[in-house]
Amino acid sequence: MGDLIEQLRAGLPGEAVITDPDVTTSYGHDMAGFCPSGAPAVVVLPRTVEQVQHIMRTATALQVPVVPQGARTGLSGAANASDGCIVLSLTRMDRILEIDPVNRIAVVEPGVVNAVLSRAVGELGLCYPPDPSSWEQCTIGGNIGTGSGGLCCVKYGVTAEYVLGLEVVLADGRLLKTGRRTAKGVAGYDLTRLFVGSEGSLGIVVRAVLALKPAPPEQLALVAEFPSAAAACEAVCAIMAGGHAPSLLELMDGTTVRAVNKMARMGLPESTEALLLAAFDSHDPAADLAALGKVCTAAGATQVVPAEDTAESELLLQARRLALPALELVSTATMIDDVCVPRSALGAMLEGVAAIAAKFDLTIGVCAHAGDGNTHPVVCFDVGDPDESRRARESFDEIMALGLALGGTITGEHGVGVLKKEWLARELGPVGVELQRGVKQVFDPLGLLNPGKLF
């Protein structure tokens, strides 16, 4: 331990090495509940690539595990510390190094907060689309680590589609450059994509080249109220099959709506069974919303209310962004699932989740990036009640089994971390696991990077 701190200090400024247990403990875990975490030996907060290289060389020399962290808003325990590890927080590497409107790219350090980047590129008439609901806190490094999605993915796609190139410090301290700054490029294996969603298990991202889009017009939203989740899911399928291209298509079930009202007095319809929020950022959003509203009505919507202006639209989005925090207040604890199914199976997924809630006698609220088929069933339970806690865990697992049975995936955007590692093998199968372990071995032969995650 003494050796480790001494050697880290040899290449880092004093304030970048924290050993006070009161502080290091606070870096122990991300925002996922019920994931084991350990006590880090030290937290390091580098500001430069060279400092990250020094940390990794030290870790390799002394064979100490390293857990990279962004803002720790993750929901799968992927950033949780292990006992005696080095927590490598990238939050101080937070500079936007370049915004290039001609090539439509931004070059950033990993600790840049998503919303900060969005606002900076917005000032130049550009847009960085991936927008997790946690965008005011989460970092680009964390977004790359988890391959995060967000509210606008139904039209613009997920983080993976915007990462063109990376600089990565490998386990032994070498610097790897992947990808490109060009609009096209197919030289060699796509290592850039490999790092997206790798949960800090292959290397430390220290720079990212991100693709930008021209900023679209401001979006206008509507809310449609449904008498059942099934009718809302039918509307989603009809919208997508009908060739509509909403910039947002989100679902909140009745439990979620009531939780949001309770938390923030949003004035959403209390008695609804499901709300769809849809938006367009097109040149005639009012006309597009009117067409989409007709589809909702045909699917059984009892009310379709378009927002009057962008301020009202933003309020609707705000209600959706509050869904997870609001459901967290329903009981003393929650487990947040992230199962993504083909859109055509969304109705079956929601019906199945309702059956699971009834079977285990639990409240399970569902919000969903409905246009992506990505559901977030949130299991609410009393952590002080051992039997309810057991039922919560079992229902959480049944939800994943249901998702796989419907042709889906155990995680659409939150990642595997420690929360779902027992399930990854079921999804990948033995050949998939063997090859993925092989890839890990190539990048991290000593198994020092974020051990205990994924597999």
Ligand X SMILES: Cc1cc2nc3c(=O)[nH]c(=O)nc-3n(C[C@H](O)[C@H](O)[C@H](O)COP(=O)(O)OP(=O)(O)OC[C@H]3O[C@@H](n4cnc5c(N)ncnc54)[C@H](O)[C@@H]3O)c2cc1C
Q: Does residue 51 interact with ligand X by CB under 6 A?
A: no
Q: Examine residue 110 and tell whether it contacts ligand X (CB under 6 A).
A: yes
Our CB check for ligand X shows the closer of 324 and 354 to be 324
CB 28 within 8 A of CB 73: no
In the list 94, 167, 199, 234, the residue contacting ligand X (rule: CB under 6 A) is: 199
Instruction: Assess 204 for contact with ligand X (CB under 6 A).
Output: yes
Looking at residues 408 to 447 of the shown chain, list those that interact with ligand X (rule: CB under 6 A). 413-414
Rounded to whole angstroms, the Cα distance separating 204 from 222 reads 41
Closest to 233 in 3D by CA, of 401, 347, 96, 388: 347
Give residues 248-287 in contact with ligand X (rule: CB under 6 A): none
Q: Return the number of the residue (315 or 405) whose C-beta is nearest ligand X.
A: 315
Please identify, using beta-carbon distances, which residue of 142 and 408 lies nearer to ligand X: 142
Shorter beta-carbon distance to ligand X: residue 132 or 173: 132
> How many residues does this entry show for the chain?
455
Pick the closest to residue 43 from 73, 75, 76, 21 (CA basis).
21
Residue among 37, 58, 146, 272 that touches ligand X (CB under 6 A): 146
Instruction: Select from 132, 197, 246, 306 the one that contacts ligand X (CB under 6 A).
Output: 132
Residue 293 vs 412, nearer CB to ligand X: 412
From the list 86, 358, 289, 121, the residue with the least C-alpha distance to 200 is 86
Spatial strand order of the sheet with 96-100 comes to 96-100, 105-108, 204-211, 163-169, 175-179
Is residue 149 close enough to count as binding ligand X by CB under 6 A?
yes
Give yes or no for residue 68 binding ligand X (CB under 6 A): yes
75 binds ligand X (CB under 6 A): yes
- The three-state secondary structure class of 341 is coil
Minimal CA–CA distance to 293: which of 356, 343, 244? 244
- Three-class HEC string of 105-164: EEEECCCCEHHHHHHHHHCCCEECCCCCCCCCCCEHHHHHHHCCCCCCHHHHCCHHHHEE
Residue nearer to ligand X on the CB measure, 78 or 356: 78
Q: Tell me if 74 contacts ligand X by CB under 6 A.
A: yes
Nearest to 415 by CA among 75, 27, 73, 36: 75
Residue 30 in contact with ligand X, rule: CB under 6 A: yes
Note whether 72 binds ligand X by CB under 6 A.
yes
* Minimum distance from residue 42 beta carbon to ligand X (Å): 16
By CB under 6 A, residue 133 contacts ligand X: yes
Give the binding range for ligand X (CB under 6 A) out of 75-83, 170-178, 230-238, 360-368. 75-83
**φ and ψ of 304, to 5 deg:** -130, 120
Q: Does 150 bind ligand X (CB under 6 A)?
A: yes
Q: Supply the minimum distance, in Å, between the C-beta of residue 76 and ligand X.
A: 8
Query: Which stretch, 66-74, 218-226, 299-307, 425-433, contacts ligand X (CB under 6 A)?
Result: 66-74
Total residues interacting with ligand X, rule: CB under 6 A: 36
By CB under 6 A, residue 85 contacts ligand X: no
Q: What is the footprint of ligand X within residues 320-359 (CB under 6 A)?
A: 324-325
Please identify, among the stretches 143-151, 259-267, 286-294, 380-388, the one whose residues bind ligand X according to the rule CB under 6 A: 143-151
Q: Contacting ligand X (CB under 6 A), which of 41, 78, 163, 357? A: 78
The token duo for 52 is 């990250």
Nearest approach, Cβ of 94 to ligand X (angstroms)? 11
Q: Nearest-CA neighbor of 52 among 180, 194, 200?
A: 200
Q: Using CB under 6 A, which residues numbered 211 to 250 contact ligand X?
A: none
* Interatomic CA distance for residues 163 and 209, integer angstroms: 6
Smallest gap from Cβ 280 to ligand X, in A, equals: 20
Q: Which residue from 345, 371, 151 is spatially nearest to 239, judged by alpha carbons?
A: 371
Q: State yes or no: residue 370 binds ligand X (CB under 6 A).
A: no
The window from 100-108, 129-137, 221-229, 439-447 that contacts ligand X (CB under 6 A) reads 129-137
Q: Which residues contact 186 (CB under 8 A, 6 or more apart)?
A: none
**Residue 196 Cα distances to 6, 300, 353, angstroms:** 33, 40, 29
Tokens of 388: 């309810």
3-state helix, strand, coil in the chain (%, to 5): 40, 20, 40
According to the binding rule CB under 6 A, does residue 375 interact with ligand X? no
Residues in contact with ligand X by CB under 6 A are 30-31, 68-75, 78-79, 90, 110, 132-134, 138-139, 141-143, 145-146, 148-150, 199-200, 204-205, 324-325, 413-414, 450
